A and B are shown apart, each in its own frame.
Chain A
Amino acid sequence: MELIFEIGSKGRHLSLLPECDVPKVELGEKYRRTDAPHLPELSENEISRHYTKLAGRTHGVNDGFYPLGSCTMKYNPKVNEEAAALKGFNRIHPLQDPSTVKGALKVMKMAEDALCEITGMDAFTMQPSAGAHGEFTGLLLIKAYHTDRGDMARTKIIVPDSAHGTNPASAAMCGYQVVSIPSGPDGCVDLDALRAAVGPDTAGLMLTNPNTVGLFDKNILDITKIVHEAGGLCYYDGANLNAVMGIVRPGDMGFDCIHSNLHKTFSTPHGGGGPGAGPVGCKKFLARYLPGLCIEEKADGEFDLVKAPGSMGSVKAFNGNFLVVVRALTYILMMGKEGIPEASSNAVLNANYMRVKLSDDFKMAYDTTCMHEFVMDLSPLVKETGVNALDVAKGMLDYGIHPPTMYFPLIVHEALMVEPTETEPKEVLDQCIDVLHEICDIAHTDPDYLHGAPHDTVIGRPDEVEAARHPVVRYTWE
């Protein structure tokens, strides 16, 4: 289809602004732009249709099943959007006096309190904008703590080899060396490898639990103990929190700080890749290093915004992605103490139901009870038919299903990671199970069909190698 620059015509425009009612002023020549930027010149109708067409070429959770492992693509309730659209949240300036934004501060405080209870932490900052941003912030808490104690020899962060790529990347941004430790054959942390890795240079450990293969690491108390005894701190990557809310809390597993992805666990929309929010929580002894301004509720119900005494500074200009927090709080209010564990229980049930039903045709990387997601290992299928994880994923596109996460975690070759979430009805899970069985049959009878998939999408497989070799990253006019 056309790009927005290829439609419209010179002189078309919308009627948006009134005449200027004060004298115009001209910038000095030294500063003045002489050529206008090439921007579209369109009527409102054309803009509306252009984006409707683009929307039609986009698969969202609303369009169909989206079992993208580690991304928790659950349904995004519409009431969240209604709350976020309220004028009292939209038209308030971030630098208004606290006495004029009591409602907004209360929203942040209520969200903080609920997140503390769900995760077993003592304080939260809403500043980080995303999971990776939260990891960065959490590691800076650890760094600020060691620095404050004058313990400058702690230069290493331990990360399991199964970790998401953001973990080592975040550690590097915090000036840490990354020590990658191998996972055991059960996909969990190898305690001996961990014992061998820790020492006086250990700043901390980054871990998800359930881990990236979807299993609950039963040695978790030993793991956090080993790190603590070496003088390091434990960071919980909250990517997989949707599995365990109300069942087990990171704070009770020995973690010192954590981020939570509001756009995964707390149902705020992913927006095509943001804006999310990655609030960071910590135990009391780390709260003095939190970034931004902390909200303190005074005895008279008024709020104060205060800088933590040893604050690391700020990781974002203002108060974080406030409207995302509004949406998450709306969700938390609706779910309450019963609904939150119910969500996790059913996320885990849906995953295990699919895992068991698929175990006949597909090898499970770890054939045991999973949490909210599971990893299939397609290497036997590749061996038998030549059809790999990519082919199966592309084959699923023709059935209107967003494929699982491919080739992650790296410790499983030919991995497909399936996370159904709790908001899918049984029929949708059954249909996906049938589709995967059918694709498995096709792999054996007509593998070329899958090598060429997808067949019914608006484009076929794009040439990614060419895209990277000769990058065209903007439109240019003739």
Chain B
Amino acid sequence: MGSFVPNTKEEREQMLREAGYESFDDMFSVIPEEVRLRKPLDLPSGLSEMEALKVMEDLAACNKVYREIFRGAGSYDHYIPAIVKSVTSKEEFLTAYTPYQAEISQGILQSIFEFQTMVCELTGMDVSNASHYDGATAAAESIPMCIDRKHKAAYVSATTDPKVLEVMGTYCFGSNTRLVTVGEADGLTDLEDLKKVLAEDPEAACFYVESPNYYGNLEDVEAIAEIVHGAGAKLVLGIDPIAQAVIKTPRELGADIAVGDGQPLGMPIAFGGPYVGIMATTTDMMRKLPGRIVGETKDHDGRRAYVLTLQAREQHIRREKASSNICSNQDLCALTASVYMASMGPDGMKEVAEQSMAKAHFLRDELVKAGLTQKNCAGEFFNEFVTDCPMGAEALMAALDEKGILGGLPLDAETVLWCATEVNSRSAILEVADTVRSLM
């Protein structure tokens, strides 16, 4: 069996004696007999490291790793620079916990301060938290930031990623918040519907919309902001951090809160996690942010220092009156995102965004040439788009699968949501188009 207990049997016995116990059983005699588990756990016997790793390798080998991925929908296959993994596997970062003791945690605290700054630069917002669990939970926890006695209802666009929408719905079930979906027209939020429903509801607290939205389309956020603010509500904008290198910032577009999933910033797709939530807002709403925030200060000798700050918002001080129950964030993932952005720099970030957009547009063009029709496409798109699939999504996916290619995500039997990034090659895109052609 495996064990990470260093003390030998003799040492344990000596320690038991010195602590005043005859045996382990004697020590555990404070637990009432009627609840004691008096049989071994029904688990296999422990393994050596070599055996355990073999089991995990065999399990990993049962998963199909595609050579090309054209599926996004909230999880994006981008190139991860080697330096990212090297930095984030440093044991100091890996094995520390929340930086409660600032004097021996300046490394973590400074890295979070740098992360917060980079998020502010990407989004144009004033303040970012130290991260959230993922983009969906960040979106869900933006709602209570906007709720007050007079504003009790949350609105969300039908163009939202359904998984994000589901998480928002679950959080609203918890907080007893009314969550209302606003209609869509041709792949974009229906502005007329938005105007109408907000005008009819004086309790509207906020409106959540993504740009690029679930279909990859860029929303007319400036027009949306005008409608939302006109109704006295706040605008929460869901972003893709890569797209943010080339599209206007949430701040410029009029958002009050920007949220998104930071996974594209150096995290592997990894069957869905861990990823990291990005959450930034204006100075006005700073004290409503959930989660940890790092601030700059000085020590008693005047040296620059970083600390966890604005803790009066948090659960360990405010308990049931806290802005959220969040305790730990996703620090190592925030660090991953920081190292990614530092290694890309402003030009590299722009290049990743431009190449992703270029590949997606090339894929769209080739698929249309092969006979598919783009759907839900009133505006411009970033790196995702929707087509029909007259040969049946299942048949097309099976044909691509045989070539080691993961096709787009079937939205229904004859509709597919496609995605491309900088890692997709021109030749693979042509291969996808040829496969479509062969099935037409």
Within 8 Å by CB of B49, from A131, A291, A334, lies A334
| Given A17-B355, A173-B175, A337-B40, CB of A467 within 8 Å of CB of B296 | yes
Complex: how many Å from CA A273 to CA B109?
Answer: 11
Complex: how many Å from CA A246 to CA B16?
Answer: 19
CB distance from B52 to the nearest CB of A (A): 4
| Given A52-B90, A315-B167, A422-B5, CB of A457 within 8 Å of CB of B103 | yes
Cross-chain contact A473 with B305 (CB below 8 angstroms)? no
Complex: how many Å from CA A21 to CA B358?
Answer: 9
- Residue contacts A-B, CB under 8 angstroms, 10 given: A36-B347, A68-B97, A79-B53, A93-B69, A103-B59, A270-B97, A314-B163, A339-B3, A460-B301, A462-B305
| Given A272-B96, A313-B167, A462-B299, CB of A471 within 8 Å of CB of B64 | no
- Chain B proximity mask over A347-385: 1 for CB below 8 Å, otherwise 0: 011101101110000000000110000000000000000
Partner-binding segment picked from B127-135, B191-199, B370-378, B384-392:
B127-135
Given contacts A79-B53, A168-B315, 11 further A-B contacts (CB under 8 A): A36-B346, A47-B83, A60-B93, A86-B56, A221-B32, A247-B28, A247-B36, A318-B75, A334-B48, A345-B24, A346-B12
| Chain A residues with CB under 8 A of B310 | 468, 471, 473
Within 8 Å by CB of B101, from A5, A136, A330, A402, lies A402
A-B Cβ contacts below 8 A, count: 676
Tell yes or no: A169 within 8 A of B by CB: yes
Cross-chain contact B64 with A353 (CB below 8 angstroms)? no
Cross-chain contact A338 with B46 (CB below 8 angstroms)? yes
Residues 270-289 (chain A) with a chain B CB within 8 angstroms: 270-276
| Chain A residues with CB under 8 A of B344 | 14, 16, 39
Cross-chain contact B346 with A174 (CB below 8 angstroms)? no
Number of interface residues of B (CB under 8 A): 203
| Given A246-B37, A341-B41, A458-B103, CB of A273 within 8 Å of CB of B108 | yes
Cross-chain contact A106 with B59 (CB below 8 angstroms)? yes
Cross-chain contact B79 with A17 (CB below 8 angstroms)? yes
Within 8 Å by CB of A340, from B41, B144, B329, lies B41
CB distance from B335 to the nearest CB of A (A): 7
| Given A86-B60, A472-B296, CB of A334 within 8 Å of CB of B357 | no
Tell yes or no: A3 within 8 A of B by CB: yes
Within 8 Å by CB of A273, from B163, B167, B328, lies B328
Tell yes or no: A132 within 8 A of B by CB: yes
| Chain B residues with CB under 8 A of A313 | 166-167, 169-170, 173
Within 8 Å by CB of A474, from B27, B102, B127, B317, lies B127
Cross-chain contact B330 with A136 (CB below 8 angstroms)? no
Complex: how many Å from CA A186 to CA B113?
Answer: 42
CB distance from B138 to the nearest CB of A (A): 10
Cross-chain contact A106 with B175 (CB below 8 angstroms)? no
- Chain B proximity mask over A215-242: 1 for CB below 8 Å, otherwise 0: 1101011000000000000000000000
Indicate the member of B107, B175, B248, B347 with the most A CB atoms within 10 Å.
Answer: B107
CB distance from A262 to the nearest CB of B (A): 11
- Chain A proximity mask over B308-326: 1 for CB below 8 Å, otherwise 0: 0111101111111110111
Tell yes or no: B395 within 8 A of A by CB: no
CB distance from B79 to the nearest CB of A (A): 7
Tell yes or no: A87 within 8 A of B by CB: yes
CB distance from B434 to the nearest CB of A (A): 16
Within 8 Å by CB of B47, from A16, A89, A270, A333, lies A333
CB distance from A136 to the nearest CB of B (A): 6
Complex: how many Å from CA A312 to CA B166?
Answer: 9
Tell yes or no: A76 within 8 A of B by CB: yes
| Chain A residues with CB under 8 A of B309 | 464, 467-468, 471, 473
Cross-chain contact B298 with A62 (CB below 8 angstroms)? no
Residues 65-93 (chain A) with a chain B CB within 8 angstroms: 66, 68, 71, 73-77, 79, 81-83, 86-93
| Chain B residues with CB under 8 A of A143 | 173-174
Cross-chain contact B133 with A475 (CB below 8 angstroms)? no
Cross-chain contact B299 with A20 (CB below 8 angstroms)? no
| Given A315-B137, A339-B46, CB of A130 within 8 Å of CB of B117 | no
| Chain B residues with CB under 8 A of A38 | 121, 346
| Chain A residues with CB under 8 A of B293 | 471, 473
Complex: how many Å from CA A117 to CA B41?
Answer: 7
Cross-chain contact A475 with B273 (CB below 8 angstroms)? no
| Chain B residues with CB under 8 A of A200 | none
Number of interface residues of A (CB under 8 A): 197
Tell yes or no: A439 within 8 A of B by CB: no
Tell yes or no: A295 within 8 A of B by CB: no
| Given A28-B380, A314-B170, CB of A16 within 8 Å of CB of B95 | no
- Which 8 pairs across A and B sit closest by C-beta, in order of nearness? A318-B272, A336-B46, A88-B60, A334-B2, A103-B62, A271-B332, A94-B272, A58-B107
Residues 165-223 (chain A) with a chain B CB within 8 angstroms: 165-166, 168-175, 178, 215-216, 218, 220-221
Complex: how many Å from CA A114 to CA B108?
Answer: 33
CB distance from A89 to the nearest CB of B (A): 5
CB distance from B289 to the nearest CB of A (A): 10
Within 8 Å by CB of A74, from B4, B43, B297, lies B4
Tell yes or no: A42 within 8 A of B by CB: yes
Within 8 Å by CB of A60, from B91, B274, B306, lies B91
Complex: how many Å from CA A125 to CA B31?
Answer: 29
Tell yes or no: A441 within 8 A of B by CB: no
Within 8 Å by CB of B41, from A53, A118, A271, lies A118
| Chain A residues with CB under 8 A of B338 | 4
| Chain A residues with CB under 8 A of B297 | 462-464, 466-467, 472
CB distance from A43 to the nearest CB of B (A): 10
| Chain A residues with CB under 8 A of B142 | none
Within 8 Å by CB of B92, from A14, A23, A58, A345, lies A58
Cross-chain contact B2 with A95 (CB below 8 angstroms)? no
Cross-chain contact A318 with B74 (CB below 8 angstroms)? yes
| Chain A residues with CB under 8 A of B185 | none
Within 8 Å by CB of B274, from A40, A164, A323, A357, lies A323
Cross-chain contact A48 with B45 (CB below 8 angstroms)? no
Tell yes or no: A306 within 8 A of B by CB: no
Tell yes or no: A343 within 8 A of B by CB: yes
| Chain B residues with CB under 8 A of A75 | 4
CB distance from A330 to the nearest CB of B (A): 6
Tell yes or no: B438 within 8 A of A by CB: no
Complex: how many Å from CA A175 to CA B48?
Answer: 47
Complex: how many Å from CA A68 to CA B328?
Answer: 14
Cross-chain contact A36 with B175 (CB below 8 angstroms)? no
